[in-house]
Amino acid sequence: MISKRSAETLKQNEGIIWLAVCVSAGLICLGQFGLGNGWQSLLVLNSGGVGLISCLGLSEIRRRSDEQEIQRLHEVATTDALTGTGNRRWFDQEMGRRVTQFRRYRTPCSLLVIDVDHFKNINDTWGHDVGDQVLVALVRVITATLRDIDMLFRVGGEEFAALLPETDGKNAATAAERVRAAISDLQIPVGNRRIQINASVGGSQLLSSDSTETWYKRADTALLEAKQSGRDRVVFYTSSNPSSSIRVQPSVGPCKPADPSL
């Protein structure tokens, strides 16, 4: 605790309000609030009364608190609560930013759309709690497979989108196949059993003529083609002409649950 002498010394400061609050690690925070002169400071003491930090303005504390609150609200507004990825709102904003950047600097960017095959069958058989576990495990695997600069978003129930900055179509198709293969190797423990899943991946390279809508639609069309071609495979459009697409299918046929729904 602060010594009696130190406390008496503090009391001698007329026109000053002193507040003492115990905090973690045995520290005591003294807030000095001036009356009339408008200045404030914060003094942090240890149990022996030794000053550790001084002259930290209260306005600075408020500013930092406001910044933390803004950051928290931003995360709430842009993050998927279940998986921790970006949500659809953030995805739409980032898509627009990438299109604008490409028009100005011609910086390449590619889009992947990833959808879990037969996810409805998982929910119907195991329940939605297990379905949630599958999505969380899926995100963990995708994130580990992609680069640090790549961005992952949940854009639908079991559908995810990944933005790959500075990546052309050929390299993006290679990355898409790595993601697909990693998902195919994933096994989620449920009780004494394990669930194995597969995913289809569609992709498209950003073109000079693209809007966010045409860019996404092309990737979504590629995903549909991957589904209709047997699932558990990659279809990537490198141009606006589907005939120029890159198609990658697994060397071993996909695991197909009884439910044939997409």
Q: Spell out the long-range contacts of 156-160 with Cβ–Cβ below 8 A and sequence spacing 24 or more.
A: 156/88, 156/115, 157/119, 158/115, 158/116, 158/119, 158/131, 159/113, 159/114, 159/115, 159/116, 160/85, 160/113, 160/114, 160/115
What pTM does this model have? Answer: 0.71
Provide mean pLDDT across the span 17-39.
42
Residue 21 has pLDDT above 70, yes or no: no
Decide: 199 and 161 in contact? Cβ < 8 Å. Answer: no
DSSP element (H, E) containing 152? strand 151-154
Task: Write out pLDDT tens, residues 169-188.
Answer: 999 999 999 999 999 999 99
The pLDDT tens digits of the residues spanning 129-174 come to 999 999 999 999 999 999 999 999 999 999 999 999 999 999 999 9
128: pLDDT strictly greater than 70: yes
The pLDDT assigned to 58 comes to 54
**pLDDT given at position 60:** 64
Residue-wise pLDDT for 32-81, tens only, equals: 444 444 444 444 444 444 444 444 455 666 677 777 767 766 676 789 99
User: Residue 112 — very low, low, confident or very high, per pLDDT cuts 50/70/90?
Assistant: very high
Q: Which domains does the chain have, with CATH numbers?
A: 4-75 (no CATH), 81-248 (3.30.70.270)
> What per-residue confidence (pLDDT) applies to 35?
41
The answer to whether 24 and 31 have CB atoms below 8 angstroms apart is no
